[in-house]
Chains A and B, each alone.
Chain A
Amino acid sequence: MMNNIKILLPLLFILVTLQGWGQGNRDDASSIQVIVNVQSELTELNRKQVMSLFLGRARSFPNGKSTKAFDYQIGSQLRENFFEWLTGKSISDIDAYWARLRYSGRTSPPRVISDLDTILYIVSKNQNAIAYIRQQDPAQLARQGIVVVHTLKEL
């Protein structure tokens, strides 16, 4: 009986630990980072500021520097998660919102970039750029001249 318990306890410990790691990994995967170039001199943006910048209501960062947002392609899961977590609205409502702005001639949606590497390259080279990515190591991003200014998690 005791032998069984001795075997079961470590197994249980391992299972719980793995479960915790798994949960932790899922948390990381379900987080989205809003990133800018280090030369933008920004360290943090709040949710309202991020919303304004990605919904075309603001053309400059809080420090007054002009900005340009970048987005992913229509149908991208990351794009859907980002806007739904950011605004609490369906991606259909966000697409309808951008249709109103685009086809009334007021402003254009963020420029679409198809892959992560290009997003990282653009943000690392452009002090006006703002974009979003799946959770990445901030230290590694910093080495590319990129700063995480906001982190979104699933609502």
Chain B
Amino acid sequence: MTDLFIDRPRRSAANELSLLKLLVCCLALCCQSLASAEDSLVENWDITGFGTLGYAQSGKYSDAILKRNISQRSQRIEDNGWLVDSRLGLQVSKEFNAHWDAVGQVVLQEKVDNSLENSFEMAFVRYQSDGIWSMRLGRMVLDTFLLSDYRNVGFSYQWVRPPPEFYGWIPFTHYDGIKTIFEFGDFDQFTRIEAYVGKGGAKVNIGYQGGGTSYNHAQASPMLGMGVTWEKDDLTLRAYVTQFRISEEIAAIEELQGFVNDPAVQAFWPQASQIADDYALKGSTFSYHSLGFSWRPLAWQLQGELSHVSSDSFGTYGGKRGYIHFGRRFGKFFPHVTYSRSWDGRKYPYDAAPATPTPPLPAGTLEALEASLIDNRLSGVVNQYTASMGLRWDFASHKALKLQCERTKLYGGSFGIYPTTMAAPRALQELTRSWCSTTFDWIF
């Protein structure tokens, strides 16, 4: 999923309307309850929100650009450091009665697909039984990891942004589907078991090139997951497994396959076809396994997560990720340090391409194809670490100022999150870069 793998418009009108259809279904399901609600459908909605105004040194270096996540347009944030972390969220919710409620959330932020439909992070109705069970139907945030479901809410955590090695590469932020939750406890401890199924899509910009041909659109169906959260006093433990299958091929892969399956290429480099198949995304399955903990005794905070990402597609993300975060509150100030690391040691496993026979192929054809395959492989590699120091200042109620500086080491060709302006084939040597960022976070 790289610059080479260009995308073309493929969203049908039916897809555009999927959220709307889902919402209509949701409202129809609870219409009986709505009819008996004490107040009307349009009254007494809670309207709240959150915002972040930030500035990051995203364009400080000419060879590596600081990004919050791969949904952002590389060239856009390179020239506008205030777009990296700035965002505005609006949430509406309504409790119809003791059993039914609805939540909707729109988040405006810099990303490839800024359509209103894609800006809805949540739009679901929930049924809460009298017992321990509840169910949600509609659009929900993908909460695979500890911070996944509130990573847009800067006020809710200490960082300027969640550790990029752990959170920056995740393509999907929400899904449309159904989720069921069991919650039980005895006041001494609390357990939450949840499972979901649905489908989702994401448009990302991995690499530096901008414009419509460099944005990749991934569709996943089904997306499945289940997790367990256990809380006792100040300790929270969480384990989660998510699996999803890519349901459509991205246009760039189709173009690659068309190229390597050219009879002239096949005649001299038959393995190229196998390599293209290994890069294919359609039908491939991805698995995320994660373990996390958070311990917050009084003024202290210690938090960490580990995850393992695997897939049967070669040309995309894989490997292990982890971070550890430590801080302490001193009145209105919260200084903290974090170390986050991503390991991806996968090597390009194929034999070298044969020399291009001329004629019939133009000189350098196979060498150029191989160079592109190897280079684009790097866009799925996140092999790096970041050490950061930050300070949060809660200077007023529901308002915080944050400052964070981080030093990142990118091991050979780790271009999976932070893109480079280097022309392909990109240099593989290690890079060490430092950035500082600041934000003003608030909720209302």
Contact = CB atoms under 8 A, between A and B. Distances in A.
A89 interface: yes
Contact of A90 (B89, B98, B141, B329): B329
B190 A88 contact: no
A96 B332 CA distance: 13
B143 A92 contact: no
Nearest to A103: B153
B156 A89 contact: no
B46 A108 contact: yes
A108 B102 CA distance: 11
Interface of A: 46, 48-49, 52, 57-58, 62, 66, 74-75, 88-93, 95-97, 99-100, 102-106, 108
Given A89-B296, A99-B150, 16 more contacts: A48-B233, A52-B185, A58-B190, A92-B329, A93-B296, A93-B329, A95-B398, A95-B443, A96-B157, A99-B155, A100-B150, A104-B143, A104-B149, A104-B153, A105-B141, A106-B149
Interface in B284-312: 296, 298-299
B135 to A, nearest CB: 13
A102 B91 CA distance: 9
Contact of A103 (B89, B140, B331, B332): B89
Contacts of B394: 90, 92
A7 B32 CA distance: 80
Given A90-B299, A90-B329, A104-B141, A99 B187 contact: no
B98 A66 contact: yes
A84 to B, nearest CB: 10
A103 B91 contact: yes
B373 interface: no
A62 B329 contact: no
Contacts of B105: 103, 105
Contacts, number: 84
A106 B148 CA distance: 13
A57 to B, nearest CB: 5
B103 A99 contact: no
Contacts of B150: 99-100, 103-104
A100 B153 contact: yes
B59 to A, nearest CB: 30
B190 A99 contact: no
A66 B329 CA distance: 35
B156 A105 contact: no
A104 B124 CA distance: 12
Given A58-B185, A100-B156, A105 B398 contact: no
A82 B398 CA distance: 17
Given A74-B398, A90-B299, A57 B185 contact: yes
A48 B50 contact: no
Contacts of A99: 50, 150, 153, 155-156, 443
Contacts of A100: 150, 153, 156-157
B48 interface: yes
Most central of A49, A57, A104 by chain B CB within 10 Å: A104
B226 to A, nearest CB: 16
Contacts of B153: 99-100, 103-104
Contacts of B185: 52, 57-58
A75 B187 contact: no
Contacts of A88: 298
B443 A108 contact: no
B188 interface: yes
B296 A105 contact: no
26 contacts: A48-B188, A49-B187, A52-B185, A57-B190, A62-B187, A74-B397, A74-B398, A75-B397, A89-B299, A90-B332, A92-B400, A93-B296, A96-B157, A99-B443, A100-B156, A103-B89, A103-B91, A103-B105, A103-B150, A103-B156, A103-B443, A104-B143, A105-B124, A105-B140, A105-B141, A108-B46
Contacts of B381: none
Interface string B223-241: 0000000010100000000
A58 B132 CA distance: 10
B122 interface: yes
B327 to A, nearest CB: 11
B95 interface: yes
Contact of B95 (A74, A75, A96, A108): A108
A105 B102 CA distance: 9
Interface string B400-426: 100000000000000000000000000
A22 B89 CA distance: 49
A103 B50 CA distance: 8
B130 interface: yes
